[in-house]
Amino acid sequence: MEKFTKHTGIGVPLRQSNVDTDQIIPAVYLKRITRTGFEDALFSAWRKDPSFILNQEPFNAGSVLVAGPDFGTGSSREHAVWALKDYGFKAVLSSRFADIFRGNSGKQGLLAAQVAQDDIELIWKELENAPGTQVTVDLESKTVVCGNIVAPFEIDDYTRWRLLEGLDDIGLTLQHEADITAYEATRPTFKPKTLPAKVS
Amino acid sequence: MAKTLAEKVWDAHVVRKGDGDGANAQPDLLFIDLHLVHEVTSPQAFEGLRLAGRPLRRPDLTIATEDHNTPTLDIDKPIADLTSRTQIQTLRNNCAEFGVRLHSLGDADQGIVHVVGPQLGLTQPGMTVVCGDSHTSTHGAFGALAMGIGTSEVEHVMATQTLSLKPFKTMAINVEGTLRPGVTAKDIILAVIAKIGTGGGQGYVLEYRGSAIRALSMDARMTICNMSIEAGARAGMVAPDETTYEYMKGRPHAPEGADWDAAVEYWNTLKTDDDATFDAQVDLDADTLEPFVTWGTNPGQGVSLSEAVPNPADFGDENAKAAAERALQYMGLEAGTPMKDIRVDTVFLGSCTNSRIEDLRAAADIIRGREKDPKVRMLVVPGSARVRLEAEAEGLDRVFKDFGAEWRFAGCSMCLGMNPDQLEPGERCASTSNRNFEGRQGKGGRTHLVSPVVAAATAVRGTLSSPSDLDPAPESAAIRTDAT
């Protein structure tokens, strides 16, 4: 995973709550077996509307999405994170993220920064009044800067550390393989196994 | 120390406690007892293993089935959609390469992953269960800690049979009382979501408790736990009891003999201690609950079926007001319209929420001896091939076919419209599934989430209806009151 320390890019105000993962990427795009190439799928239904924010310059070149509360609800599809990244987003700001989406973002190096709704409102106004305003998201200091607005954001320390270091989860876990093996030896025999297969 | 059910299951699976305390604590490493796999969220994970040269650590704790992409017609023919066919073939190749048990289309144990696990007896109390699918919360009905994970985590579980997780907070959902006839588990969970909102459970594991929950069958408990994710919670649980054991006993992978006794002894400990505390509590009165239905485009936008489409102006919160306005526009609804005046084009009975045998029985009991509104199309999609066989053995397929419904093969189908079962733009559907998001069931499609009995009554009248709105059936088929 690439390290994330600080990013500056055009902010995109998405004035909407409950942006679910079916909106971020509809199921029809989930038939692909690759991990990249989803940029066309991002918000594909909404992008058919010419007035949608990503169809307007300079927002179409944005890389910091500023959304309403409950972003990423619904499906566990990591494709939602892949699509945001493939389009060019590096960070999403919201006052509340769905748990699975936030977890998936952390695994993929997309920064899900939790910003108070009052600050989101200020940032929305700034971005709408001065389209193209750059937003800086600094993971070291956990702050967002947009014009004259400086706002703190929250992210759990473990995810922050992994993003700053660009660490791969599986590699970290396999350092503890002896613990896994020891645990496996203690599992009760009544716990089911899928193999050999039994059917009714 | 007194513990909740969720904490007991969590603690029993800690491979390694995370360093540090409180807010700065690192995640715990938890062992995963069962990993369910399907075609959509696994190809990139298998590819990750291959690229890193890593084996799949525990094929004997892993099982795969084909469900999201599979057609529900002509299943003996090659899948027409080439990308779907490639994805299914990729799963077959990956399972063969990594030694994973797979139930393919045509197999009696093929079906929706969350229907297949419990049906085989692989889902048991006190287990940790994961799957690259958010409705994995379904398995919590057995007192398992079960949650959906993303593809990176799927790969992590494949490689290590563990997950790194930070402890959740716990929330008790207390449902006391007795459900009235025609009111079901689906109405309980829709009412819970409307009450706490789509983000209300975020960061929590929900535990459903109280006399109304204890009175429910396993199929009904699965319906409730299934939609925990729609309240923002990654997992929902019900403590195991005799109902659970009765369901488990004799299933192919249920413990036998001395193992059964040892298992039950352990399972009996899986309840929240009397003096344990939850981080949050929510109460719901089962006695006064009515059939519930959604009017908007997220599962929290619901009302009792006897109410009207709400007015956005009545929402205090600006974001909720804007969301309601947008939802009504998308749904093509006017504020103040009685919900029961809303006419639908399609009725979908299926999905991991409501496609089990009891769901089919409950719907069949409503339509038996009645006629379908001729303008309504009804699709019945059993959750698994085995549920389909069971229904056919009981003659339920005849009831649905005589009524004019389409009797399909098993899969996720119109719940998410990845296969050809989709709504047309503007089409309106009463659906027993779990998500009413914009475009979820097909581009431009409009979804009202309902229970199986409301779905059935709606198919009769053509407008959103509860069973109590129906005239007596000519042959007065008994209406079950214990329906899911």
Q: How far apart are CA B262 and CA B388, in angstroms?
A: 33
- Statement: residue B476 has pLDDT above 90: no
Rounded to the nearest integer, the mean pLDDT of chain B is 96
Task: Give A136's strand partners.
Answer: A8, A145
Question: Residue B483: inside a domain, yes or no?
Answer: no
Q: How far apart are CA B128 and CA B167, in angstroms?
A: 14
pLDDT tens per residue, range B254-306: 999 999 999 999 999 999 999 999 999 999 999 999 999 999 999 999 999 99
Quick one: pLDDT band at residue A168, thresholds 50, 70, 90?
confident
- Chain B segment 405-464 residues within 8 A of A by beta carbon are 416-418, 435, 437-440, 443
Question: Residue B384: inside a domain, yes or no?
Answer: yes
Do residues B163 and B153 touch, judged by C-beta distance below 8 A?
A: yes
A44 shares contact with chain B (CB less than 8 Å): no
Do residues A100 and B149 touch, judged by C-beta distance below 8 A?
A: yes
Q: How far apart are CA B116 and CA B383, in angstroms?
A: 8
Q: Which residue has the tokens 């079916």?
A: A22
The helix (run of H) or strand (run of E) holding residue B194 is helix B185-196
Percent of chain A with pLDDT over 70: 100
- Statement: residue B484 has pLDDT above 60: no
Q: How far apart are the first and last CA of chain B?
A: 36
Residues B260 and B176 in one domain: yes
Do residues B140 and B271 touch, judged by C-beta distance below 8 A?
A: no
A170 shares contact with chain B (CB less than 8 Å): yes
What are the residue boundaries of the structural domains of chain A, listed by start? 6-174
Residue of B437, B319, B316 whose CA lies nearest to A124 = B319
Give the residue from B254, B283, B312 where a domain finishes.
B283
Count: domains in chain B: 2
- Statement: residue B20 has pLDDT above 90: no
Residues B374-393, mean pLDDT to the nearest whole number: 98
- Statement: residue B480 has pLDDT above 80: no
The helix (run of H) or strand (run of E) holding residue B109 is none
Q: Which residue has the tokens 């190096």?
A: A109
The residues, ordered by sequence, that sit 6+ positions from B61 with a Cβ below 8 Å of its Cβ are A193, A194, B32, B33, B34, B35, B161
ipTM (interface predicted TM): 0.94
pLDDT at site B23 = 65
Residue B383's alpha-carbon distances to B106, B275, B280, B449, in angstroms, are 14, 39, 33, 17
Do residues B449 and B342 touch, judged by C-beta distance below 8 A?
A: no
Q: How far apart are CA A115 and CA A105, in angstroms?
A: 16
- Of B86 and B480, which is predicted with more confidence? B86
Residues B399 and B346 in one domain: yes
Q: How far apart are CA B414 and CA B144, in angstroms?
A: 28
Do residues A76 and A70 touch, judged by C-beta distance below 8 A?
A: no
Residue A20's alpha-carbon distances to A26, B129, B232, B429, in angstroms, are 10, 24, 11, 20
pLDDT tens per residue, range B231-254: 999 999 999 999 999 999 999 999
Max CA distance (Å), chain B: 68
pLDDT tens per residue, range A71-99: 999 999 999 999 999 999 999 999 999 99
Q: How far apart are CA B189 and CA B339, in angstroms?
A: 19
Quick one: pLDDT band at residue B481, thresholds 50, 70, 90?
very low
Do residues A174 and B156 touch, judged by C-beta distance below 8 A?
A: no
Residues B158-173, mean pLDDT to the nearest whole number: 96
Q: How far apart are CA B356 and CA B223, in angstroms?
A: 9
Do residues B150 and A103 touch, judged by C-beta distance below 8 A?
A: yes
pLDDT at site B13 = 98
Asked if B61's CB is within 8 angstroms of A104's CB, the reply is: no
Residues B266 and B374 in one domain: no
Question: Residue B48: inside a domain, yes or no?
Answer: yes
Q: How far apart are CA A131 and CA A134, in angstroms?
A: 9
Do residues B160 and A180 touch, judged by C-beta distance below 8 A?
A: yes
* CATH no. of A6-174: 3.20.19.10
Quick one: pLDDT band at residue B21, thresholds 50, 70, 90?
confident
- Statement: residue B475 has pLDDT above 60: no
- Statement: residue B478 has pLDDT above 50: no
Asked if B83's CB is within 8 angstroms of A32's CB, the reply is: yes
Give the residue from B283, B301, B336 where a domain finishes.
B283
Position B300, amino acid? G
Two tokens, residue B255: 């413990």
Quick one: pLDDT band at residue B474, thresholds 50, 70, 90?
low
Quick one: pLDDT band at residue B326, thresholds 50, 70, 90?
very high
Q: Is the pTM of this model over 0.90?
A: yes
Asked if B150's CB is within 8 angstroms of A174's CB, the reply is: no
A50–chain B nearest CA distance, Å: 17
Domain enclosing residue B323, as ranges = 293-469
Residue of A83, A196, A31, A41 whose CA lies nearest to B66 = A31
Two tokens, residue B96: 């063969």
Q: What is the CATH number of the domain that holds B179?
A: 3.30.499.10
Q: How far apart are CA B87 and CA B90, in angstroms?
A: 5
Q: How far apart are CA B345 and CA B88, in angstroms?
A: 31
The residues, ordered by sequence, that sit 6+ positions from B386 with a Cβ below 8 Å of its Cβ are A200, B108, B109, B111, B119
A116 shares contact with chain B (CB less than 8 Å): no
Question: Residue B474: inside a domain, yes or no?
Answer: no
Residues B245 and B309 in one domain: no
Phi, psi of B28 (to 5 degrees): -80, 155
A85 shares contact with chain B (CB less than 8 Å): no
**Binding-site residue set of B for [4Fe-4S] cluster:** 352, 412, 415
Task: Give A112's strand partners.
Answer: A92
The helix (run of H) or strand (run of E) holding residue A117 is helix A117-129
Asked if A193's CB is within 8 angstroms of B160's CB, the reply is: no
Residues B312 and B261 in one domain: no
Residue of A21, A38, A17, A182 whose CA lies nearest to B437 = A21
pLDDT at site A46 = 97
A16 shares contact with chain B (CB less than 8 Å): yes
A44–chain B nearest CA distance, Å: 10
Percent of chain B with pLDDT over 70: 97
Question: Residue B150: inside a domain, yes or no?
Answer: yes
Q: Which residue has the tokens 């459900």?
A: B179
Give the residue from B215, B249, B283 where a domain finishes.
B283
Testing the interface with A: which of B69, B81, B101, B151 to mutate, by most A Cβ within 10 A? Answer: B151
The string of DSSP letters for A37-104 reads --GGGTTTTGGGSTTSGGGSTTGGG--EEEE-SSBTBS---THHHHHHHHHT--EEEES-B-HHHHHH
Task: Give B284's strand partners.
Answer: B175
A8–chain B nearest CA distance, Å: 26
